[in-house]
Structure 1
Amino acid sequence: MDSETAAALAAAWTDDYPWEFLTRLTEIGDRMGGSPGERRAAELVVEGFERAGAREVSVESFEMNRWTRDEAELAVTHPVERSFETIALPYSPPGEVRGELVDAGHGTPAELDEMDVEGKIVVASTTTPKGSRFIHRMEKFGHAAAAGAAAFVFRNHKPGQLPPTGALRFDREAAVPGVGVSLETGDWLTDYADRGGRAVLRVDAETTPGTSHNARGRLGPETDDEILVVGHHDAHDIAEGALDNGCGITVVVAAAHLLARMDLDATVRVAGVGCEETGLLGAETLAERLDLGSVRAVVNVDGAGRFRNLRAHTHGSETMEELVASVADEANQPIAVREQVHPFSDHWPFLERGVPALQLHSESGERGRGWGHTHADTRDKVDDRNLREHAMLTALLVREVARTDEIPRPSAESVAGNLRSGDYEEGMKAAGIWPDGWD
């Protein structure tokens, strides 16, 4: 390790800026896609890039469909009459539904295929069975809606009276209403479903044309190709968004400060993107506006900084896996590796178009989102040591990617095959996100 890099990493151990940045970000409050708070978050990211010494720093806007939350109600009407706390899920349409409650367990396709949900209110868990692949909320909802469900209720698997949120579709209104309820409420709904229960569900919300924002900057030498480092600065409106993805965008900003002090072999473009939670829209816009032929690789920081140990999703790239191993060895720090391709974060618009992708997450030891997507996603859950250390590891990983001239670009066939091997195709089609022409 050269002396300049060593000095930058040494200084990072005592740098208070990552915690200060996260504090200011979480103080904003609502950072939902298209909101004024999300714009302020983009401006804060620009400030962080400028502090790092990046050039060509700017905020860029793009058009999207802004979903705005209002009230939601859920009341059991049989065998008793009682109401429960609930929140609407993004892109739920407004409306009122009355119908029979049906418990779909984990909401897996197999479970939904075995029951009659036509015209009924389907209740499904936020988690999936142990030993099975992760089944995304959008997939569960898509299967239920396609089977004729009149409404969808997403029940948390984590205790604490925490109804979860999360988009039903990407950037457009869903077919039927959907809401989130706590584990404790879900337990009652399961009981009532077993007893022939009925309920009424009402959602007030609207989807209107809106504007979101990305933040951009450049570091390192001017070269013919570049490495793109992204993290999303938006969050769901029900909490501070400290873990998801306040930690991730903080790591990006802190890593930018380190990268500016390293000897880089290629241009590094850093970006904070909006509307990840509502459809990867900021990343999609960035992918459309950049010359992807000059983007050697994308490093997506979504989930890093939340928990103690870093985890790298290499998305089928053997070269990326080798780079991760070399950095883990150099830094004497564990970095877990997962090879499986997945489409549910900001690397996807680039990977779909053939750009090699690395996503940096972290290991919690638990299954599911934990505090994420709930009222409890607050700054007190964050350990600032993780922010600093993951920023250092991210910077080292990006430096290694910039040093690597040949990172094979994945073909659509190989990405599709990887997704099929992980049993993602059916779910992506149910969610409406399987790429056109890949059949």
Structure 2
Amino acid sequence: MDDTNGPTTRERDPILERALGRAWADDRPWELLSRLTALSNRMGGSPGERRAAELVRDDLEEAGVADVRIDEFPMQRWQRGTTEFAVTDVDDGATDAPAGERSFEAIALPYCPPGDLEGPLVDVGYGTPKEIDDVDLQGAIAVASTTTPSDRRFVHRMEKFGHAAAAGAEAFVFANHVPGQLPPTGALKFDAEAAIPGVGVSAETHDWLVEYAERGARVRLRVDASTTDGTSRNVHGTLGPETDEELLVLAHYDAHDIAEGALDNGCGIATVAGAASILADLEDDLDCRVRIAGVGCEEIGLLGAEALADDLDLESVQAVVNVDGAGRFRNLKALSHASEPLADLAENVAESFGQPVVHDRDPHPFSDHWPFLRAGVPSLQLHSEPADGGDRGRGWGHTAADTRDKVEPRNLREHAMLTALLVRELTGTEVPRVSADELRERFEDQNYVPGMRAAEVWPPAWE
């Protein structure tokens, strides 16, 4: 009897079966995640990020990756100071009460400049371009939700910030849509101090701010922060035969300083380390060299990925597998970034092993595949989502609730196995380059171009 919901029939491979069997009982991905999340923080350029690079190096060496090394690169280190945020001129509705002031918790967003300012509070809803165009933000403090309605393209934080700044806002408030008194963080721009301040506030604070904006209240904001010269690190080594071409598998190991960074992206780098151990057992099956990398400073601008792309001969990189988001939730999600062959490969591998995979074929520029995809290198991003599809947005990510207790070890193991299987298959698959014209057309179709320009990530060569 055919079982259409089961795995595709395939020949038995004892070596592969033994490698997967060992991976099923392998606790090393969980142990790496635990060591990383036990650090005080892994913010780009910090001592904690430096120690994290050493932990990743040690783990890759133990997994069997050869010639593992740490490369330093320069970056702009942002350090968080204090933030004061208060709504002023608040009328509490009592006829005999004067206008007052109410303070709320807020945190500065990376690359926020220091500042001390005041202005009218203006609610821009989800912060979509249309909503921002529909209000007067000149000299105002704009407040926008972290999410976007499901019937519209997801608008990234940097886009919302860029549009608000271009519309004349004096400051930007990024309000979480996930409850729990969790102000969110996230970089305002890449590797440089932003033009105006930006802060994060909780969903509960957002509820009040929307009401206060309707009443015509003003906001007083003071931020103490600094941006200075610093350094970060990439960790990488190789597996498989010495070939002219190579496949790059990477994940970022840095995290924001307000959280443990378990989901974003402790899970991703732990998944890569687990996959590397499996691939080391399958080296004879690899048809080209595989470079395994942990990159720094993704959270503040894809800086490690940019440095690695500068160091490698991109003509020799046949494809990139960017593990950003895998291991977090139950079902693997494959983002093929306009490469249909990569979408087909992910689907075929998942089906042959009876595993579900969620597809997203549209490209986006906001993860470590971007410096490579921008140069035409086919890129597969491995993410994950709950079995029920979950809510739109980051969930616990970029908040103080991004902690190890949210992670299930079985997800790390299973996604490490699926990552290794995908990479094994990909080393023997020729995938065409993605042309700049096709990418530009796909971004135009998604109405992404104004947002990418606002976020300053639209490639000048595409003008």
Q: TM-score range by the shorter chain?
A: over 0.9
Shift of residue 19, structure 1, vs aligned partner: 1.0
CA deviations on 1:133-161 (whole Å, 9 max, x unpaired) are: 01000000000000100000000000000
CA deviations on 1:309-355 (whole Å, 9 max, x unpaired) are: 00000011111012112101221101111110000000000000110
Equivalent residue number for residue 30 of structure 1 = 41
Matched residue SS, 1:380? helix
Matches within 5 A, 1:182-261: 182-261=202-281
CA deviations on 1:281-320 (whole Å, 9 max, x unpaired) are: 0000000000111111000000000000000000111110
Q: Which AA in structure 2 matches 1:291?
A: D
Shift of residue 53, structure 1, vs aligned partner: 1.0
Q: 2:410, 2:447 → 1: CA distance?
A: 36
Match of 1:308 among 330, 333, 341: 330
Shift of residue 48, structure 1, vs aligned partner: 1.1
Equivalent residue number for residue 119 of structure 2 = 99
Is 1:388 matched with 2:413? yes
Matches within 5 A, 1:91-130: 91-130=111-150
Q: 2:145, 2:351 → 1: CA distance?
A: 39
Match of 2:432 among 408, 415, 418: 408
Is 1:77 matched with 2:88? yes
Shift of residue 130, structure 1, vs aligned partner: 2.1
Q: 1:308, 1:60 → 2: CA distance?
A: 34
Q: Which AA in structure 2 matches 1:67?
A: W
Q: 1:414, 1:48 → 2: CA distance?
A: 38
Matched residue SS, 1:307? coil
Q: 1:106, 1:315 → 2: CA distance?
A: 25
Q: 1:29, 1:308 → 2: CA distance?
A: 28
Matched residue SS, 1:311? strand
Matches within 5 A, 1:358-369: 358-364=380-386, 365-369=390-394
Q: 1:423, 1:328 → 2: CA distance?
A: 31
Q: 1:309, 1:48 → 2: CA distance?
A: 25
Equivalent residue number for residue 153 of structure 1 = 173
Match of 1:66 among 65, 69, 77: 77
Count of aligned pairs: 438
Match of 1:163 among 178, 183, 206: 183
Is 1:374 matched with 2:399? yes
Equivalent residue number for residue 53 of structure 1 = 64
What TM-score do you get using the length of structure 2 for normalisation? Answer: 0.94
Q: 1:114, 1:325 → 2: CA distance?
A: 42
Q: Which AA in structure 1 matches 2:169?
A: A
Structure 2, unmatched stretches of 5+, are 1-11, 91-99
Equivalent residue number for residue 280 of structure 1 = 302
Structure 1, unmatched stretches of 5+, are none
Shift of residue 29, structure 1, vs aligned partner: 2.2
Equivalent residue number for residue 348 of structure 2 = 326
Matched residue SS, 1:260? helix
Shift of residue 421, structure 1, vs aligned partner: 1.1
Equivalent residue number for residue 455 of structure 2 = 431
Q: 1:301, 1:435 → 2: CA distance?
A: 23
Q: 1:130, 1:334 → 2: CA distance?
A: 22
Q: 1:29, 1:20 → 2: CA distance?
A: 17
- Fraction of identical pairs, as percent: 65
Rg larger in structure: 2
Q: 1:411, 1:308 → 2: CA distance?
A: 33
Runs of 4+ in structure 1 off by over 2 angstroms are: none
Equivalent residue number for residue 293 of structure 1 = 315
Q: 1:269, 1:224 → 2: CA distance?
A: 12
CA deviations on 1:16-67 (whole Å, 9 max, x unpaired) are: 1111111001001210100011111111111111011111101110000000
Q: Which AA in structure 2 matches 1:72?
A: T
Is 1:349 matched with 2:371? yes
Match of 2:422 among 384, 397, 416: 397
Is 1:131 matched with 2:151? yes
Q: Which AA in structure 2 matches 1:223?
A: T
Matched residue SS, 2:460? coil
Shift of residue 12, structure 1, vs aligned partner: 1.1
What TM-score do you get using the length of structure 1 for normalisation? Answer: 0.99
CA deviations on 1:156-201 (whole Å, 9 max, x unpaired) are: 0000000000000000111100100000011111111100101101
Shift of residue 5, structure 1, vs aligned partner: 1.2
Q: 1:58, 1:419 → 2: CA distance?
A: 36
Q: 1:141, 1:106 → 2: CA distance?
A: 11
Cα-Cα RMSD: 0.7
Q: 1:304, 1:124 → 2: CA distance?
A: 28
